Homo-oligomer: A and B are copies of this chain.
């Protein structure tokens, strides 16, 4: 039995880890921390977990966490980077769901996250946890950095095209939208139901923190220069990311459907939809799955890829568990066979 700890367990990726791990045969959650809720029963905060866990939030404590085989950081950014070095030194493997180790260039990281990186020496060691790309490296990762939600949906949508050289990587356009759970469980007026229900808006148009991560990931798939125009939007709903990806084709489109089906053949969590079927976020709700659709409207020169995930599952906690399975030599689908909740 793998003994797991969760740091920052009060947020939505924390409770989602608990939901997923409840059906995982090989993992036991032995510690969960929260400064704000220390001493409170987990199922008092999250009554959906009553009868399932007998956990109490603890103060973050290095010794407690070092006693785990693996520790998930479900914290906001700029937290994990202070604690991870100590845990790694103690031999505990770390799966960081935050942004702290996603960008390999410390200066670039600082520019987007607003302060110097606290453990830049680990950036090279951190493995980027997108299994469809880095499965082999993930096996041996001591420090696993989970991709962001938008970057997961967007990279999975473009990688086959870039790898095959089908599109111009210098003028990529991503119009994406996220449910409000992407903003986390924070007491901000901007996230009130009264502020966002029944409405839709773009945000971060001038520059969203996921942009450098997306460009870094895509750049690995091509030798050409990559430039993405990325506009995220906020959806009046809880879960789900939908990315609408535009790229200019280099030659008349042929065989793109087959290209995607081959690229993702054997991938348990990437589902290339039949031609003409468009994904909906609801069909992946609660499931660790990316559904993709490839289109060339009017047969013109622009390919449109639609990519959907549940931001809390394939975009965060599910992907983290998928990586854990790989890291610990378990079947990759262990604990991840939840069916999307529809309707």
Contact = CB atoms under 8 A, between A and B. Distances in A.
B237 A198 contact: yes
Specify how many copies of this chain sit in the oligomer: 4
Nearest to A18: B339
Interface in A253-293: 271, 273, 276-287, 291, 293
Contacts of A302: 171, 173, 229
A246 B246 contact: yes
Interface residues of A, number: 92
A148 to B, nearest CB: 17
A229 B297 contact: yes
Contacts of A191: 192-194
Given A192-B192, A343-B239, A47 B273 contact: yes
Top 5 A-B pairs ranked by shortest CB distance? A48-B340, A199-B282, A175-B175, A201-B280, A193-B193
Interface of A: 12, 15, 18-19, 22-23, 44, 46-52, 171, 173, 175, 177, 179-181, 183, 185-189, 191-203, 205-207, 211, 227, 229-231, 233, 235-240, 242, 244, 246, 248, 271, 273, 276-287, 291, 293, 295, 297-298, 300-302, 304, 306, 308, 312, 337-343
